[in-house]
A and B are shown apart, each in its own frame.
Chain A
Amino acid sequence: RKEVEQDPGPFNVPEGATVAFNCTYSNSASQSFFWYRQDCRKEPKLLMSVYSSGNEDGRFTAQLNRASQYISLLIRDSKLSDSATYLCVVNSRPSGYSTLTFGKGTMLLVSP
């Protein structure tokens, strides 16, 4: 079973649309959770952490369901600049350096 599983997409949406990505993880001992963003031919960058209570950062909302081992990302009012690959990431270490496990990513294409 894949450790972090995501729908690869691509998700093609018009500007202004709302789009949601989901992710499941297999390691129930995972400690912390994140969404990273990777633009074409660029390095991954942290988009936001994901907390059990759910958290929001502007147009982005992340949710975690530990019981179901499920993570989601909602993007409202999509912009052209949101076009990228979104990587679901889990960390198995509680402290010190990180051991991050990445999903393959979900590609988002926002069109005018």
Chain B
Amino acid sequence: ETGVTQTPRHLVMGMTNKKSLKCEQHLGHNAMYWYKQSAKKPLELMFVYNFKEQTENNSVPSRFSPECPNSSHLFLHLHTLQPEDSALYLCASSHGERDANTGELFFGEGSRLTVL
């Protein structure tokens, strides 16, 4: 059982659709992350929020729009995606305090996105 829950687990959307991925963590962490995992590629960091503030945006196209209303919830809003955006989108959380960097991220099971 994971302390990080992602919904939906699977999503199929057209290029003109608008959809959102949701992530919730129950671990009391302050940092939350979106990663993209494509076939034959390493996990790619997309965004980091620490204490609800966006601290990293890894040159992600604007068709991906993150939202972090509080330290427990993270969204990824999707709009006019391309077929090459099809991938597994993984949410993760960790401690974000200055002295708490253990390098351990706790991942959700991912949302598998297919763009037609």
Chain A: residues with CB nearer than 8 A to chain B? Answer: 4, 32-34, 42-46, 49, 87, 89, 91, 93-105
| B contact residues, total (Cβ < 8 Å) | 30
Contacts of A96 in B (CB 8 A): 31, 50, 96-98, 100-101
Chain B: residues with CB nearer than 8 A to chain A? Answer: 2, 30-31, 33, 40-43, 45, 48, 50, 55-56, 90, 94-105, 107-110
Whether the pair A97, B43 counts as a contact (CB closer than 8 A) is: no
Whether the pair B110, A4 counts as a contact (CB closer than 8 A) is: no
Contacts of B97 in A (CB 8 A): 96
Q: How far is the CB of B90 from chain A (nearest CB, A)?
A: 6
Inter-chain CA distance A102–B105, complex, in Å, is 12
Whether the pair B103, A98 counts as a contact (CB closer than 8 A) is: yes
Q: List 5 A-B contacts (CB under 8 A).
A: A43-B108, A44-B90, A49-B102, A95-B98, A97-B95
- Given the known interface contacts A43-B108, A43-B109, A44-B107, the answer about A99 and B56 at a Cβ–Cβ threshold of 8 Å is yes
